[in-house]
Homo-oligomer: A and B are copies of this chain.
Amino acid sequence: MKEFFPEVKGKIAYEGPRTKNPLAFRYYDSERLVAGKTMREQLKFAVCYWHTLKGNGSDPFGAPVYNRPWGQETNALEAADSTMRAAFEFIQKLGVDYYCFHDRDIAPDGATLSETHSNFEKLVNRAAALQKDTGVKLLWGTAGLATHPRYTHGAASNPDPLVIAHAASQVKRTLEATVALGGTSFVFWGGREGYSSLLNTRLKQERDQLGAFYHMAVEHGKKAGFKGMYFIEPKPAEPSTHQYDFDAATSLQFLSEYDLLDHFMLNIEANHATLAKHTFEHELMMASSVGKLGSLDINRGNTILGWDTDQFPTDVPTATMAMWIILKQGGLPYGGLNFDAKVRRGSFDSMDLFYGHIGGMDAFARGLLIADRLISDGVLEKFQSERYAEFESEMGHKILNRTTSLDELEKYALSRGEAHFRSGREELLENVLNDYIYSPTIE
C-alpha cells in the first residue's frame, strides 16, 4: 500500500517542552490525566477533511499550488479512494481520534444525482472499513451546500424549491452516513444562507425556508436513527454578504424564533467569532451560558485581514480561555475540537500539515493544563465571588428572583446613598493570567 507521508515513521510522540524535534509534541500527552480525564478525552481533536486533504492552496488571486501525492488519479473514484487512505494515514500518524467531513469532500459528484449518491455510498463504506481498521472515529458530518453553482443564491434559502430539493437530498444522505459512521453530531454552516442585496431578497421568507429546512432535517434524523446533536455554525459573512447566522446570539435567536432550541447547539469557530467583531471566548461563553456550546472549530484569524484565514491555532492564551470555559461546563459530550485550519498558500510541502496540527494540538494541550490549574486554584472564581458578593444579600436575591420592584429599589437607594466604587482589577487579573500562562512549572 502506498505511504503518503513516508517522512513520518509511526505516531508523533510526546517528548516534552525541551525537545527540539519538530515532529514531536511538547504538551500533548494523550494518556496524561488532567481534571479527571485523559488529554485525549478532554481534547477531542478532529482532522478536517476539506482543508487537510482537499485544500489546494488557491486563493482569490491565485491558482492551486499543492502537488499532493494523493487524489491525483484520473478516475474520480480512485482519486477519492487514495485521498481517503491518505486521510487515515495522516490521522493515525498524528495520533488524533476523530475527523470531520462534508459529503462532497469524500466523494465526487457524478453525472447525475443518482450517480452522485452511488459515489457517496461507496466512499462511506470505505470510511466505515477504515474506521474499523484504525479505531479512528467520525466526530461530525456536514453537507457541502456552498460550493456548487446551484447554491449561489442559497441552499435552503434559495428562491427555487428545486435547489432546496437538491440540498435536502445532500442533507438526507449525509445525515444517514453520519449515523452509519457513528458521528455524534451534524453541522449546518450556512455559507450561502444569506443575501447580498435587499433589492432582490425576501428576507423573511428566506429565513422561514431555512427554519422549515432544519425541521425537516430533525424529522429525518429521527427516522434515520440519529441520536446525536445538530449544530449551527455561525459566521457573519463570506461568501454571503449578510449571513443569517451572523454570530452565536443571532443563531440562538433563529433557533428560538423557529422553535428549534431543543434539537440544536452551536459549533463556534474562532475565526468566525473575530470576523463578527467578537472574541472567540465571548462567543464560547455566550453559547455556554445558555447551555448551547456544543463544539469548536479551532483555528485563528488574522485581525488585520477581513476574511477567514483559518490559520492553525497557536495562540496559547486564547486556547486557555477556551479550555477554561469547556472545563467549567463539564466538557463537550456531543462535539470536540475540529481543526478548521489550513496551512498558508506558501507551505507547499505535505509535512507542513503535520507542523500545523502539532502546533495547534500543543497550544490546546498547554491551554488545558493552564485552565485546569486556574480552576483548581480557583483564582478567578474567588475574585468573582468577592466582586459579586453583594448579590448574596437579601436585595441581591430579590433582584435575581424578580421579587422586588422599582419602587422598593428606589427606597433602597434613598436609604443607602451612593454606592461604593470598587475596582474591577482588570490589570491585576491580566497579570495573574500571565503568571499561569507563562508559569515555568507547567510542563
Contacts and interface: CB of A to CB of B under 8 A. Distances in A.
A216 interface: yes
A411 to B, nearest CB: 8
A171 B366 CA distance: 47
A265 to B, nearest CB: 15
Contact of A305 (B306, B359, B399, B428): B306
Interface stretch (A38-46, A87-95, A127-135, A383-391): A383-391
Contacts of A430: 197, 199, 312, 314, 359
A330 interface: no
A443 B425 CA distance: 26
Given A205-B400, A405-B216, A113 B414 contact: yes
A65 B192 CA distance: 14
A406 B226 CA distance: 14
A435 interface: yes
Interface stretch (A5-13, A69-77, A178-186, A345-353): A345-353
A355 interface: yes
Contacts of A417: 112-113
A196 B424 contact: yes
Interface residues of A, number: 163
Top 10 nearest A-B pairs (CB, nearest first) are A306-B306, A168-B409, A253-B253, A346-B424, A249-B250, A165-B413, A303-B303, A169-B410, A172-B406, A204-B289
A395 interface: yes
A426 B205 contact: no
A196 B407 contact: no
Given A17-B440, A406-B172, A440-B17, A307 B307 contact: yes
A25 to B, nearest CB: 11
A402 B92 CA distance: 43
Nearest to A200: B424
